[in-house]
Chain A
Amino acid sequence: MTKQKIVKSVSHKTPEPQKASEDALACLPVSFATRGVRTPFTTKTLRYARVAIGKSGRSMIMLPGLAGGLGTYELPLDTLRDVFDLSVHDRMLFDRLLELENIRPGTVLEHARAVAVTGVGGVELARTAIERDAYEKSSRELGQLAVLHQALLQLGGSAVQDMQREELMTMEGQVRARKALNRFASEHKVANDTIIDSLGEWSKMIAPVGLELDGCQGALRVLTRSLRKFATDIEEWANSEQSDFRFMAGRVSSATKATYKHALLCVEEVDSWNGELGKVLTDWEGAKQNIGKTIEKLWWLLDGWQEMIDLWQKRPVTDRAKQREIIEEVASFTPVLPIEEITKDEQQFWVDIRVNQMLWAGELRKLGSGEIDADMVDRLERFRRQSA
């Protein structure tokens, strides 16, 4: 691809001021797909970048990742290496992303983890990825057992009410369980194996959310819960701040709470199916689609939040000035919800967050901690000028 072609496809989407006032909603991404998936590049200039499938079906990268919409640079993903000096970690991630046909938070995370565990991005990144992978693996395995146990208690009748979850790990326990479930299958005219298969499929499917039981909570459930604590922490922190930071932190806290509410609805929906296993298993194909949709929505809703929480968690304990810088960064890059996912009543709230974000991101640039952003804009502009 020639540089000219690349430049044509680089669009700087900041509209004229009068256009923004005409349609305030223009500053919000339309859908999750247009908001894109947060991609954990380590190259400083690519912080908070998002990857999405563009209108033409081509993978695009959005910078500086301000959740799509206003003030975001967009360029085809495959041109990324022509514009930026990528870190070795990012080169590996980039190679994988280019191959991805389906850009979703779950798949991007999977690839990002696969790169991180190699250690190419440093020991800390590798360690976090390994720990999270291990936790998810164990919650998935324990969750599968718990799902089977739950199914037994709900559907297996009085004969298996005394069974403990641990017994399912023994051969004898499995035989007992199978017998009990066979009874349910024949009563509801479903093939025996189908019930077992569906249960297996079910437990795998809900693994990212998991169950509300100790050790069985999936990553998305944990993250949803972390959102609530994050909002409270930030609110508490802001109490002693001056008005500007209180305002900024207040917006972060409200945005977090608003996202939490949406996420909680999804988690509750998954849990409500858990309570009606019989219904789900007798029409597994139908239920599968609905559950899949809800979990996918939850992935998108929470995309980008883990980084915000991690950033806050790593704050220095006493250095207030540094803590403020972190709040500024979190405020500037808090993921906004797209128009499709919010009600009319919520629109003004998110527009307000988004408009303020642009001011804060500007401040971040001015104050030096965001010099990288200025550098990035400079590179993009230079690239465009050179190729014109």
Chain B
Amino acid sequence: MKVEDAGKLGVSQLGQLFESLSGSEIARFTRAIESDRVDPKLPLPHEAILQILRPRLASLKPERYPTPMRQFCDPFEDLLTSAEPSDKSIRISRSSLMPIWGVVTGVNDPHFSEAMKEIEAAAAVRDSAKLAIAESKLWKAGARIIEDQIARSQEGVKEERALATRLGSRIHLKAFGEVGRILNVGEEIGQVRARFPSAPIRGLDGNDVTWLRDRFVEISQSKPGFEPMFLLAVLARLLRPSELFKLIRVLSNKADDRTIEKTNLAETGDLIIDLLAETVSEIEQGVGTGKDEAHILSLARWYASEFTRITREFKIRKDGRWGEKLLETRRRVSRALADTMFGATPERVIDALPKMEVRQGPGSGAKGLARPLFSQDFDYEKVLAAEKSAEAIAETARISDVLAAQSSAAKAVVELKKKLNQIGRAGVDGMGRLAPEEIPNAQRNLMATVRLLEIVDGPEDADVLRRRGMSAIRALTSQKAS
């Protein structure tokens, strides 16, 4: 298909077409669309087409067509988030990009405009060397423009309001300042991206740490004060923020964090802990909505491993600068988990199984025998959710020592075990009264109880329950057969 025909197809047709294209074809097509978007020669709905391509591009990650705005954002790309970042967050909201770009380009700075043109020219001929030079120029000019704008806004309330108006809202002010500071070290961040092209960086080895240390030292000589911005960019590119403590340990000759505030690394350490605190907020929010324990578990697991790694990498003291902050995050995690993961969730697990209190079935009569427990309906979806919840409880209980949540975890697990055993026993005891057509359902309920018990308590008691249940079913079927 020719690119110019893309505008004639409907959304679903385009979607189907893209499904049928190979990765390299998609990459070529995207490049053509993006190139035409810069200087439109074809009447195409560029944005709409790119929107359809986006999911595929996320997996493919082809090299994108360089545009001035894209290159401008490169140094802080790893910090971008689609969610609304909190006040303390180190992230920059994607929604701030257009306002910031609008103000920066609106200044009509000749150097910035020249750099933009050079980027477009270099992109058209695919000259990466020229592109790199133009980018560097763009970042420098961009940083200067933002600095000037901020300096002017600090002259008075009126000036500050004027900048906020130009940005469209006060909420973009923080991101505006941050972008400016990062652009100052854009070139160095470019070097980091070249050394670690594949984000996130899984780990830093000795050579990486030495290399990063050298860049840090260079910045502290040539651009003093911007070291934390450089470290921030590295931090955002790391899979595990705690990895950065390797670098902090090399850069700092302090043994623990009590004296760290006297070094210029303190701010970076704070950032790492702030990043960890973001995870804590996510745990709290997740717990608040109370829906997906598996998600909370993954966050809790992440938190626990980061906590352990930080304390292992660096001697964090309770009364040190980071110690206090770190312990505060742990207190929050502990509280959040105790409230719901170990509080309300066990109930949800039990709720998926037959109800002990519903003893009288329809038609059984007031004085009749209770319907067998396991003859109650089996709900696949509920049991699946219960399995996930139980897994989350059991897993979180396993790491509860790091999370300072041992007592609430132990209580929840004991309670859950007790109830599951009760249901299992009552279910098996009632099996002798099952009608033949109820047997398959009863077996499903039995196995669900076995599985849940196994998740929270290991296989031993669960297997005993299974054997008891299965022999009851066998006895029942052979009895019915004879």
Point out residues on A near B: beta carbons under 8 Å: 85-88, 91-92, 118-124, 127, 232, 235-237, 239-242, 245, 317-318, 320-321, 324, 367
Contact = CB atoms under 8 A, between A and B. Distances in A.
Contacts of A127: 380
A118 B447 contact: yes
B110 to A, nearest CB: 36
Contact of A321 (B55, B239, B450): B239
A20 B140 CA distance: 57
Interface in B53-97: 55, 58-62
Contacts of B443: 118-119
B200 interface: yes
Contact of A320 (B199, B383, B466): B199
B61 A240 contact: yes
Contact of A88 (B60, B61, B462): B462
A42 to B, nearest CB: 10
A135 B462 CA distance: 31
A91 B463 contact: yes
B137 to A, nearest CB: 27
B462 A124 contact: no
A91 B451 contact: no
Contacts, number: 72
B43 interface: no
A232 B22 CA distance: 9
10 contacts: A88-B463, A122-B384, A236-B22, A236-B23, A236-B60, A240-B60, A242-B198, A317-B58, A318-B58, A320-B199
Interface string B196-215: 01111010000000000000
B384 A86 contact: no
B373 to A, nearest CB: 17
Given A121-B451, A320-B199, A240 B58 contact: no
Interface residues of B, number: 32
Given A123-B380, A235-B23, A237-B59, A87 B454 contact: yes
B351 to A, nearest CB: 15
Given A88-B450, A119-B444, A236-B22, 19 more contacts: A85-B458, A87-B454, A91-B459, A91-B463, A119-B451, A120-B466, A123-B380, A123-B384, A235-B23, A237-B59, A239-B61, A240-B60, A240-B61, A241-B198, A245-B198, A320-B199, A321-B200, A321-B239, A367-B202
A346 B23 CA distance: 28
A127 B444 CA distance: 12
A124 B62 contact: no
Contacts of B459: 85-88, 91
Interface centre among A91, A123, A245 (most CB of B within 10 A): A123
Contacts of A236: 22-23, 59-60
B466 A88 contact: yes
B448 interface: yes
Given A91-B459, A123-B383, A237-B59, A242 B197 contact: yes
A255 B55 CA distance: 27
A286 to B, nearest CB: 43
B62 A119 contact: no
Query: Which 7 A-B pairs have CB atoms at the shortest separation, nearest pair first?
Result: A240-B61, A236-B23, A119-B447, A242-B198, A123-B384, A88-B463, A120-B447
A321 B202 contact: yes
Nearest to A130: B380
Given A120-B451, A321-B200, A239 B23 contact: yes
Contacts of B293: none
A241 B463 CA distance: 45
A307 B230 CA distance: 43
Nearest to A124: B384
B62 A240 contact: yes
Nearest to B383: A123
Contacts of A241: 198
Contacts of B61: 239-240
A157 to B, nearest CB: 42
Nearest to B26: A236
Contacts of B27: 239
B387 interface: yes
Interface in B397-451: 443-444, 447-448, 450-451
A88 B23 contact: no
A294 to B, nearest CB: 32
Contacts of A86: 459
Contacts of A88: 450-451, 454, 459, 462-463, 466
A293 to B, nearest CB: 36
Nearest to B454: A88
B62 to A, nearest CB: 7
Contacts of B454: 87-88
Nearest to B386: A123
Contacts of A320: 199-200
Interface centre among B59, B199, B200, B450 (most CB of A within 10 A): B59
A329 to B, nearest CB: 15
Contacts of A324: 202
B62 A120 contact: no
Contacts of B444: 119
Interface in B225-240: 239
Contacts of B451: 88, 119-122
A122 B444 CA distance: 10
Contacts of B202: 321, 324, 367
A120 B200 contact: no
Nearest to A87: B459
A320 B466 CA distance: 40
